[in-house]
A and B are shown apart, each in its own frame.
Chain A
Amino acid sequence: MNFDFSQEQQMLQDSVSRFIQDNYDLESRIKSAGSKFGFSQDHWQTMAELGWLGLPFDEADGGFGGTQIDTMLLMEQFGKGLVLEPLLASVILGGGALKRGASTELKAEILPGLIDGSRQLTLAYAEEQAHFDLHDVTTTARSDGDGFVINGHKSMVLHAATADQIVISTRTSGGQIDEKGISLFLIDADADGVKRDNFPTVDGLRASEVTLQDVTVGKDRLIGELDGGFAILNDVASDAILALSAEAVGAMEVLYKDTVDYTQQREQFDHPLADFQVLQHRMVEMFMEYEQCKSLLYRATMEAAQGSSAAQRSVHALKHLVGKAGIFIAENAVQLHGGMGMTEELRIGHYFKRMIVIDAQFGNADYHLGKFAA
């Protein structure tokens, strides 16, 4: 048992932390979020140069051979700055699917660009009727000569507007909610028949509704086995949950610490707010929830990195706790800031909005409680 980070991991943590401190003050973030792409192209290049976009890929594929633990360190720092750049979409989601299922040729074609930042990926998995079930898929891929023809509609595809390619889950056999019969393909985002309807999300990120009409794709673009895409999808989702939870833990830290600071500065009734016992206890509760989330994050991440069979259940537990505790912390941070917490002027509100979206991504607290209890 060892909770120490290696020297390399500490260096990674330090360099991400420095990047956030130097670049991610609230004003810069708001400016970036409102820009054309919703994030900074410069930051994206910096992230590539610092090797962050290659973190989870094998050295043989040009990556750094990192594990979920390395991603956790990175994402926790990202959470402190509410980073906008599409690392989750491109590296963890799109890249994660390729890493697990793509042929050597496909990896060789796509990954170098992904790692050097010149190519951006995303994953289209959600469908309106599916609520949070990854295996509820109605988008079809019909075998046609040497390839497939895709028809359907995918929802809330993260950063699809700037993506070059999209990994998409399709039904190639079986019934609507069967795990077997799902196949993953890599399609060009600007292929004939792909329509992207882009919009911002409440947390300042970007997403798209993606409609697919007779989109043709070669069978060399199949990721994993035909009909066997679900296992990959599920593993990618687990990695995404770990990454999002790390981001959430970083954001929780900012929320509770900012609240502790603010209540010491703000005076009412001739006392700093922090003198009032009921507020002290509330902040202790926020702190406790944060620490508990961090513990469960470490647990689930270490299990996943070791390929432990307990990992799946821990991932459910983690997403449940992070959703519940994250919103508890965020709501109380707003409450304890009073009117100021309700404004766009303080960063509190922005972290609050990110927290509510994190809960809704890849299944909310209730959904994972149900999975855990099942």
Chain B
Amino acid sequence: MDIELGPEDLAFREDVRSFFAENAHKAGEDYNVWRLDWFKKARDKGGWDVPKWSAEFGGPGWTPTQHYIWEQETAQATLPWDMPFGIGMIAPIIMAHGNEEQQERFLPDIRGRKVNWCQGYSEPGAGSDLAALKTKAVLSDDGTYYTVNGTKIWTTMAQIADWIFCLTRTDDSGIKQEGITFLLFPMKQEGIEVKPIITLGGAHSVNMVHFTDVKVPVENRIGAEGKGWTYAKGLLQHERTGLAGISRSIVALENLKKQASTVKRGNGSLMDEPTFRAKVAELEIDLMASEFTELRSLASASAGSAPGPESSILKLKGTEIQQRIAKLTVEAGGIYSAAWGKPVGHKFAKGGMGGYLASRAFTIYGGASEVQKDVIAKNVLGLKRSSK
């Protein structure tokens, strides 16, 4: 065991830092031009535009330590906007379970940030119990296309997505995990209706999506019919490890400390108030531990072994920490955090409330916390489900 970074890792960190510094967005620069250019330059660095992709598909093939360094540095820098659904979610599925033709067809546009994807899993009756999904796909008599009917809900960014990856039911005769088929299809076509759902902060990011006789060619099916559940489960794993956000939380907590020390209390600041200070300290301690939980998880992954038990707690711990930081930010803003749509009082108070409200969803999506704990109880601790 050795906690120090070796000379090669230090050199890598320098390389990453200078890349971020050299390619930072400059005032006045057209955002979209900069964004695409950034990804192009990152690609030229040897797959830095797709850090998590394997070397086989053009990724950088980093060591766990390099991934960790990247995470740390990206948390400090401002990277171009990127939707997680393409690069982080559907691409790994296509690599693992798509055929060569599909890989050639979809991966370049995903990598080029040319196509926005959305995730069509949840349904009104299938949230935590995802396998209960009912959206029906019926294969045509000649076996060339599916006809899809049904309703998806909570589909993030469906209103701007070009494509959807979608779980559909092709057979309901067996157990519910069987008979689920994984389909890809364009969003902008007849028979697809996207209805906005407004969430607590007044934002529109999630939607209800209705499918009426949507035709999907069989070439757009990933893997075998009826095996979609297995592929999706692998994807959920990807989603979850990405949601812990430990490095980002470390940076967020540092920011919060700075902000809180601008809130005057007596001769000192809010940071000198014992209760507030203790909450910050507790977060810092949890983050110190979580950072190493993440490292342990990375190390076991790189040793080629299955993710160890430590990785199962990352999403739970990470999201809980993000929520605590968001809440503490609201507390630091005092009454000014309540102002809505207008910056009032402490500069940081604006946005604090919106961030806090949004943070409540972190323990709901990507596997609600209660259900995640059930999974750990069963799979890691080997406990049987109670009769309840």
Question: A interface vs B, CB < 8 Å?
Answer: 126, 128-129, 131-132, 155-156, 177, 197, 199-203, 207, 209, 267-270, 275-279, 327, 331, 334-335, 338-339, 341-345, 349, 352-353, 356-357, 360-361, 364, 366, 369-370
Contacts and interface: CB of A to CB of B under 8 A. Distances in A.
Interface of B: 122, 125, 127-129, 132, 153-154, 197-200, 202, 206, 263-266, 270, 273-276, 327, 330-331, 333-342, 344-346, 353, 356-357, 360-361, 363-365, 368-370, 373, 386, 388
A156 B339 contact: yes
18 contacts: A128-B346, A155-B336, A177-B266, A203-B338, A209-B344, A267-B125, A268-B128, A269-B128, A335-B368, A339-B122, A339-B153, A343-B198, A343-B199, A356-B330, A360-B338, A366-B273, A366-B275, A366-B331
Contacts of B197: 343, 345
A202 B340 contact: yes
Given A203-B338, A279-B370, A342 B361 contact: yes
A157 to B, nearest CB: 11
B339 A268 contact: no
A239 B327 CA distance: 27
A349 B203 CA distance: 13
A349 B201 CA distance: 10
Contact of A361 (B335, B341, B369, B388): B335
A276 B154 contact: no
B22 to A, nearest CB: 39
A327 B337 CA distance: 15
Contacts of A269: 128-129, 132
A132 B330 contact: no
Given A131-B263, A366-B275, 10 more contacts: A155-B336, A156-B339, A156-B345, A270-B129, A278-B370, A334-B360, A335-B368, A338-B364, A343-B199, A344-B200
Given A334-B360, A366-B276, A352 B200 contact: yes
Top-3 shortest CB links A-B: A268-B129, A199-B342, A366-B275
Contacts of B153: 339
Nearest to A208: B344
Contacts of B369: 335
Given A131-B263, A342-B360, A268 B127 contact: yes
A119 B129 CA distance: 55
Nearest to B363: A335
Contacts of B357: 202, 353
B353 A202 contact: yes
Nearest to A126: B335
Contact of A342 (B341, B342, B364): B364
B352 to A, nearest CB: 10
A197 B263 CA distance: 23
Contacts of A278: 370, 373
A156 B344 contact: yes
A156 B343 CA distance: 11
A342 B335 contact: no
Contact of B368 (A197, A338, A357): A338
Contacts of A275: 388
Nearest to B267: A177
Contacts of B128: 268-269, 338
A156 B128 CA distance: 41
Contacts of A343: 197-200
B325 to A, nearest CB: 14
Contacts of B353: 202, 356
Nearest to B386: A277
B329 to A, nearest CB: 12
B129 A207 contact: no
B340 A200 contact: yes
B345 A339 contact: no
A209 B274 CA distance: 30
B229 to A, nearest CB: 15
A207 B338 contact: yes
From B333, B364, B368, residue with most partner A Cβ within 10 Å: B364
A350 B345 CA distance: 24
A357 B388 CA distance: 37
Contact of B154 (A209, A279, A339, A364): A339
B272 to A, nearest CB: 11
Contact of A339 (B198, B336, B364): B364
A353 B200 contact: yes
Contact of A132 (B132, B334, B339, B346): B334
B200 A342 contact: yes
B171 to A, nearest CB: 19
Contacts of A345: 197-198
A341 B370 contact: no
Contacts of A357: 338
Contact of B345 (A128, A177, A366): A128
A360 B335 contact: yes
From A128, A131, A201, residue with most partner B Cβ within 10 Å: A131
Contacts of A339: 122, 127, 153-154, 206, 361, 364-365
A199 B330 contact: no
B339 A201 contact: yes
Nearest to A366: B275
Contact of B339 (A199, A277, A353, A361): A199
Given A156-B338, A335-B363, A356-B356, A268 B132 contact: yes
A90 B31 CA distance: 48
